[in-house]
Amino acid sequence: MFAIGLPAGGEMLLLFVYFSAVYWLIQDFGAEAQAGFSIGGRIMQSIFMPTMAIAFALGPIAGQNFGARRFDRVRETSKKGIILSSIVMAIVTILMQWKSDLLVGFFTTELEVIEVGSVFLQLISLNFIAQGIVFSCSGMFQGLGNTRPAMLSSLIRIIVFLPLAVYLKYQPGFTINQVWYVSILSVTAQAVVSYLLMRREFRLRLGNSDTPNSVSA
């Protein structure tokens, strides 16, 4: 339980580090910027719930089939999970590009806060599909009984985000939107790393064969 649970907990800790860093990076833009990010972040987390539900389902399904040595079903679970997550995230991305200001407006009437939150959701939604891939891969890692790759990919996100964002913070003409662009880059890098690590786990644990394994009575 510790071997699986501690890396998963570490993944949540790194997410806390990310949000803390964002609050620090945008502090000079005033209370309106922090309020807009807070509202946008909560909306984003709520939007992620359907995709996270898919990811949470992948773990048990993949784990049961991995234990039964039905490796073909493990691969199929991964494939369909990523496809379903991508479809959900694509729909949400379109919604964010269309009416993000309306969603933020449910929680505040201050125009500056709405502007920051709306732009945040419009820009950050560009990596929603990548985030869905990250969630799906994390679910598969849990199903395979090895959550260390998920924590590693989260660490890659921090390594990409923090140095570049801090560097930009101290450059002339630094804008809040630059933080969101760096975040997009870091999540995209995380998604690529997560997928490659998942493929590596498949090679190590499932072998190269895609054919069903026979299970004796």
Model confidence pLDDT, tens digit, residues 159-206:
999 999 999 999 998 999 999 999 999 999 999 999 999 999 999 888
Residue 217 has what pLDDT? 40
Identify whether the C-beta of residue 76 lies closer than 8 Å to the C-beta of residue 206: no
* pTM: predicted TM-score of the whole model, two decimal places: 0.86
Residue 208 has what pLDDT? 62
Q: How many Å is the Cα radius of gyration of the chain?
A: 19
Phi, psi torsion values for 79, nearest 5 degrees? -60, -50
Residue 216 has what pLDDT? 44
Residue 41 has what pLDDT? 87
**Parts of the chain with a pLDDT under 70:** 208-217
Residue 111 has what pLDDT? 86
